[in-house]
Chains A and B, each alone.
Chain A
Amino acid sequence: MNKGRGSTGWLLAIALGILSGMVMSLVMVWCNIERMDTNYFINILQVDVRDRQAHRAKLEVEREHLLSPYELGRKAAAFGMRQPRPGQVRRMDGQ
């Protein structure tokens, strides 16, 4: 009787071990897949950020072009402005 109970316990323990091993293997595989998946989507988002940064750089080029002295000179002339003469330049300070 005692011998039979002992072997049943061992069998149960082994079966449980195998089962838990299988479950853990599955969990590990699932985690790896999730990791890859998350990493993949993070990469996609990073690519998106880079695209936006590249787009911003292009907009900055346009802004720099619009702020170039040549462009400002053309715009100023269109608004009827002209180069200041001695006595016409004031520096704003303290306001």
Chain B
Amino acid sequence: MFQVKSPRRQRNRRTVSNRSVARAGKPLTGWRATLTNVDWGRQRINLVAVLFLLFWAGLWGRAWYLQMIEGPRLADKARRQHMASELVAGKRGKIFDRNGQVLARSVECRSVYARPGEITDVVRVANALGPILEIPPQALYEQLSDSRRKFIWLARKIDDQKASEVRRAELAGIGLSKEYDRVYPFKQMAGQLLGFVGMDDKGLEGIERALDSHLAGVPTRQIVQRDATGRRFYLHAEGQEEPRGKDLTLTIDTQVQFFAEEAISKTVEDYGANWGGVLVVDVPSGDILAWAQYPFFNPNAFREYSPSQYRNRLASDALEPGSTFKPFLVAAALQEKKVDAGTLFNCENGKWETKTITIRDTSRRGILPVDKILRYSSNIGMAKIGLTLGARTFHRYLSLLGFGARTGVPVAESKGILRQPRDWGEADLISTSFGQSISVTVLQMAQAYLTLLNGGEYRPLRLVIDENANIQQQYHRVFSERVSRQVMDMMRDVVEEGDGTGKAARISGIQVGGKTGTAQKADKHSRSYGQKRTASFVGFVPAANPRYLVVVFVDEPTKSQYGGVVAAPVFQRVTSRTITYKGHLPDVVFAEASDRAVAEGGRRGRRTRGLKPAGDIRPLFESPLTAEVRRTVADGSRNSVARPAAVVPNVVGKSVRNAVELFARGGIVPILKGDGQRVVRQQPEPGSKWPTGEKSGEYILWLSEM
């Protein structure tokens, strides 16, 4: 490369030349002299330099060739090998109840796919995969032999065990893909309300369908890089986070839902009904606490059910409501001052023939005031009130109550049938007055009753808790508070008076209001009313200041058809359990002790510690602590089920909490006397046998004074 002429080199050259001359004895001539004069050391260095240069030039040339000439093609090839464009749907949002219980969630699962072009031994793959996926190998073989297809799903959303077996089999051309499976941990609970999603995670029914855009993540196309084993990896932060749907919190309370489902399922079975449904509404807020429908539907296995089983009938089936519709007519007539509670109507001894229609009552009554017409549920009396009010006015009130329109609850719902008043003849007005010739959904009934119980002001039902919603919004008033109060009083008499039709709905210790209904069902074939009935009951507690509204519909009961017999007990069971669960039920047994505790607590100016009977010390209908209780149970921190002692344990000296727990294990809730923290005396004595019946009155614990 560079010739360096240093004095030392020149000296060396001269020395070598002299030596050559000396060895030969004479000076060399020609090519020999030329060869002899070559500086071989320098030539070797030059050779190495040239080789090095060639090597570097080759490397740089190759690099240049790969980058500039072959670069785009190779990059494209690499991209195709490692990068894939995938449409990522992401994880669907969860659905919670009002206490944070998960009603629906998505869990990761695997699906098996095949790329037939990459399979070398189809027979082996079919034989290995068949038993794992429980598919006949022959069928698999036929699928995999179709080399025209580039991609085949072999099994979707398989369980972890199968996925692990497929992975272990290490079959060329067979892969596992991640998907999400929708799981409903409470199985059939609120099944028709929740609905279900299809194989591609798209909502197909119920809330899942109605709020699909909210729950589903926005599908995005992502470029993902995969290694040789198919694992995704990312060079940058983007793409690591999958799109995710938003969570949803319903107003449903799983515990109340459970009470409603248990009660309606028992009634539908006992009375051989077609189906039944219950709605429980929290009146002050309009929150729907329970939405129960029987026969049940388990969305985890939606393929096993028919559409008639998973249809949300409470919102989509329009039925003639029957007598539960009557309070609205009475309220409208009172509001228009066409009648008052004492206005008398002749109920014609149970049969009234007009020019167009003949009406019959179930009981023979003569002249009755309006309040008793409602209590005895006289169709004739109602027809006369309806005629007094007029079709146009009645229709206006029905529209204001929300009939003939969707309620706005985010489910697929029917508008029902409310014809225009110009289409109403006299017969229509008469029959609508007692709940026929009109079709409403159970949801619309709940909405209308909510307005009535809310002092006559319209308040929308709420199914989804939205933190951003404007709760201060003012709505239109339908009835005055006075009219609303009057009708509620009349409905209280329906249940609480001895001659009311809703006696089966009574709950001891609390006043109940309600209205029974037994509606004839139209027969499609004969185009008239047949023998089938819809039994219904709409009730509320407490009658004076409603907190809970419960609407019960039982379709085509066979063993008895009356709302007061079939549906009212459902209300009674659901409501009594709900108010007990919420801690609102007045306590008769412990009233005295609690009064004393309140007095003591007030005198000392501090909160009374220890056990308190439910409902008495707490103000009636304050917000419950149930969510906290559920959380404690979920944490498992205090949830232990222990076996009771064989005999009554000795609890003297123990803390009141410990003592009550020990008694509770034996199924006994003891009476507490005194309000200290320690047990000083007990009855019965330790070692006695546990009771066999339900009497616990003689189990008393005396507490220390401090």
Question: Shortest beta-carbon distance, B617 to chain A, in Å?
Answer: 9
- Knowing A80-B667, A94-B607, the reply to whether A61 touches B105 (Cβ < 8 A) is yes
Q: Is the interface of B mostly helix, strand, loop or mixed?
A: loop
Selecting from B395-403, B441-449, B529-537, B579-587, the interface stretch reads: B579-587
A87→B588 contact, CB < 8 A:
yes
Selecting from B65-73, B320-328, B329-337, B608-616, the interface stretch reads: B608-616
Question: Shortest beta-carbon distance, B607 to chain A, in Å?
Answer: 6
A86→B254 contact, CB < 8 A:
no
Contact residues, A57-75 vs B (CB, 8 A): 57-58, 60-65, 67-70, 73, 75
Question: Shortest beta-carbon distance, B621 to chain A, in Å?
Answer: 14
Contact residues, A16-33 vs B (CB, 8 A): none
Chain A neighbourhood of B105, CB < 8 A: 57, 60-61
- A-B contacts, CB under 8 A, total: 119
Chain A neighbourhood of B233, CB < 8 A: 39-40, 43-44
B508→A95 contact, CB < 8 A:
no
Selecting from B30-38, B184-192, B268-276, the interface stretch reads: B184-192
Docked complex Cα distance between A22 and B608 (Å): 83
A41-66: contact bitstring with B at CB < 8 Å (1 yes, 0 no)?
Answer: 00110110010001001101111110
A90→B614 contact, CB < 8 A:
yes
Question: Shortest beta-carbon distance, A35 to chain B, in Å?
Answer: 9
Chain B neighbourhood of A70, CB < 8 A: 186-187, 189, 258
A90→B612 contact, CB < 8 A:
yes
A68→B186 contact, CB < 8 A:
yes
A65→B580 contact, CB < 8 A:
no
Please report the total number of A residues contacting B with Cβ < 8 Å: 41
B183→A61 contact, CB < 8 A:
yes
Residue of A nearest to B510 (CB): A86
Residue of A nearest to B259 (CB): A69
Docked complex Cα distance between A68 and B300 (Å): 15
Chain A neighbourhood of B706, CB < 8 A: none
A75→B254 contact, CB < 8 A:
no
Chain B neighbourhood of A11, CB < 8 A: 2
A69→B667 contact, CB < 8 A:
no
Residue of B nearest to A86 (CB): B585
User: When the two chains form the complex, which single residue of B6, B185, B227, B610 contacts A68, counting CB atoms closer than 8 Å?
Assistant: B185
Chain A neighbourhood of B153, CB < 8 A: none
A64→B669 contact, CB < 8 A:
no
B210-243: contact bitstring with A at CB < 8 Å (1 yes, 0 no)?
Answer: 0000000000000000010001111100001000
Chain A neighbourhood of B187, CB < 8 A: 65, 68, 70
A87→B107 contact, CB < 8 A:
no
- Knowing A40-B227, A89-B585, the reply to whether A68 touches B254 (Cβ < 8 A) is yes
Docked complex Cα distance between A39 and B694 (Å): 68
Chain A neighbourhood of B6, CB < 8 A: 4
B641→A69 contact, CB < 8 A:
no
- Knowing A40-B233, A43-B231, A47-B232, the reply to whether A89 touches B614 (Cβ < 8 A) is yes
- Knowing A43-B233, A86-B586, the reply to whether A64 touches B611 (Cβ < 8 A) is no
B139 at the interface (CB under 8 A from A): no
A86→B583 contact, CB < 8 A:
no
Residue of B nearest to A71 (CB): B186
B141 at the interface (CB under 8 A from A): no
Chain A neighbourhood of B258, CB < 8 A: 69-70, 73
A86→B185 contact, CB < 8 A:
no
B633→A67 contact, CB < 8 A:
yes
Contact residues, A77-95 vs B (CB, 8 A): 79-95
- Knowing A40-B233, A87-B590, A91-B614, the reply to whether A65 touches B186 (Cβ < 8 A) is yes
Residue of B nearest to A57 (CB): B107
Chain B residues with a Cβ under 8 A of chain A: 2, 6, 101-102, 105, 107-108, 160, 183, 185-187, 189, 227, 231-235, 240, 254-255, 257-258, 508-509, 577, 580, 583, 585-590, 607-615, 618, 625, 630, 633-634, 641, 657, 660, 667, 669, 694, 696
Q: Across the A-B interface, give the 5 residue pairs with the lowest CB-CB distance, nearest first.
A: A87-B589, A43-B233, A69-B258, A64-B185, A54-B108
A-B contact pairs, 10 of them (CB 8 A): A39-B233, A39-B234, A44-B233, A61-B183, A64-B101, A64-B186, A84-B669, A86-B588, A89-B585, A94-B610
10 more A-B residue pairs beyond the given contacts A64-B185, A84-B669, with a C-beta to C-beta distance below 8 A = A43-B234, A67-B101, A69-B257, A70-B189, A79-B641, A85-B694, A86-B588, A87-B589, A89-B583, A91-B611
